[in-house]
Chains A and B, each alone.
Chain A
């Protein structure tokens, strides 16, 4: 019974397979350059299957051996660090892309965790956590524009009608601006910014968004006039001019240029300003961001990136009338007799914070007052200083 069944079954199966291979396949066609056969030889099919299977097995084993033999151990930390990094591959860290920095920071103990400028301190902390290195505080940087001479405040040598791009305009006799150190205003930096942090003001000057700027340095590299520099964000007082022309020349070309008159040098209480090559520069290591120079500058070339400065307020219950504040105040805004409560004249106070740290009783606090007429507005035409 069993044998009979097997016999019938085998015969049926053979018949079906035979019909399939001998009648169906040739009609489907083999294609390519293979000569069409009336019947596909059985052995061909079997060989084909065997050879393909054998090749598959051989390749599989070979690849497995290769993979096992030449395995490259990657530190899982590298992957983790790479996931933490912004992935912009901007190169601000000095390595070839985010992967390069991830490998370096994991593999090399001398590479600091805070080198990713776009990531700022949040990323530095995470990297420190992964690598077990000490996180150092990142002093965040920002791109600053060293020119305030927009179209309305500066002179032009000629009318430029070429390609609206600074790198193109600079080829035409160094650009159309009379001042050869100034911003040309054709927005090359805006297009270079990968984070859309730069917009152009109505007066054709770049405005850098404090929130969006990651200090990657793409705009610094893109600007053909080197008008943009990276600077420490907390040092918010900047002499926004690069003009190395003589004072008189600068004055002819631009209303807000640095004429190297030296008033700021004499004004600065901490000797942070120096004049070099007909332009004043602030040593940001020394600068205390008091803002005194801003008020004294005759051409408004110094720019304050603090939109509203909080003003000093003396707590009458704490004030012992020691009089240090009155002596220290550069604008004589504080008055009062010795051993009696002193008062700050809010109209005069410029929010320089000089008195705040000097009061031994800690009676002075800085309070953000609604801006009054005493605050000298910057002269440039561009509206709100969105920094």
Chain B
């Protein structure tokens, strides 16, 4: 199998920065606003999310490549992908509880949130759409995971400071967070000239 390494790296950078899921595609906002109130939860979510993203994308790629394409079942992408992720996360949840209880109590609560996350679904869908190979898919997954982590950590660090800021009453809480997200998205727009796919 011929692998275009340049393409792999490009996909990684593009998905992490230029097409950052939160700041340029506005996906996964539920978790994004939910866990960024504290740095600790944001970091925990970042780790869990990236891990689930990588494994989920790999599983979905295998199933897409060796089951769905031979049977011309492209139209069932959404149903099957979300099913695969849900089954995998549930299994991971059970195994983690037994094998590493410490890790489970730290990250377990995020697993349930991830099952129905739209980025987790979007990555295999993009992989399928673009007919990426395994390495390209993994690169996209890793890039998206790290990009999401970056977004979470940036947001969490700002929101911790925001607690002390004198925000007008009508903007307190979620509204100011949305405004902030918009501003960061503007800043992320600066990455768009970096590479062209």
Contact = CB atoms under 8 A, between A and B. Distances in A.
Instruction: Please say whether chains A and B are actual partners in one complex.
Output: yes
A67 interface: yes
Contact of A62 (B77, B91, B99): B91
B129 to A, nearest CB: 6
Interface residues of B, number: 25
Contacts of B74: 33-34
A62 B87 contact: yes
Given A51-B67, A66-B91, A72 B78 contact: no
Given A51-B68, A71-B98, A72-B97, A34 B75 contact: yes
B71 A51 contact: yes
Contacts of A72: 97-98, 101
B192 interface: no
A12 interface: no
A55 B87 CA distance: 10
A70 interface: yes
Contacts of B83: 55-56, 59
Given A55-B80, A63-B90, A70 B95 contact: yes
Given A32-B75, A51-B76, A55-B80, A63 B87 contact: yes
A166 to B, nearest CB: 16
Interface of B is mostly: helix
B71 A47 contact: yes
Contact of B95 (A34, A51, A59, A66): A66
Contacts of A369: none
Contact of B77 (A32, A47, A71): A32
Contacts of B71: 44, 47-48, 51
Contacts of A32: 75, 77-78
Q: How large is the interface on A (under 10, 10 to 19, 20 to 34, 35 or more residues)?
A: 20 to 34
B2 interface: no
B79 interface: yes
A52 B80 contact: yes
A32 B94 CA distance: 34
Nearest to A59: B87
Nearest to A68: B94
B72 interface: yes
Nearest to A44: B72
B73 interface: yes
Contacts of A33: 74, 129
A48 B91 CA distance: 24
Interface string B135-177: 0000000000000000000000000000000000000000000
A55 B84 CA distance: 8
Interface of A: 30, 32-34, 41, 44, 47-48, 51-52, 55-56, 59, 62-63, 66-67, 70-72
Given A51-B68, A66-B95, 15 more contacts: A33-B74, A34-B74, A34-B75, A44-B73, A47-B72, A48-B73, A51-B76, A51-B80, A52-B76, A55-B80, A55-B83, A62-B91, A63-B90, A63-B94, A67-B94
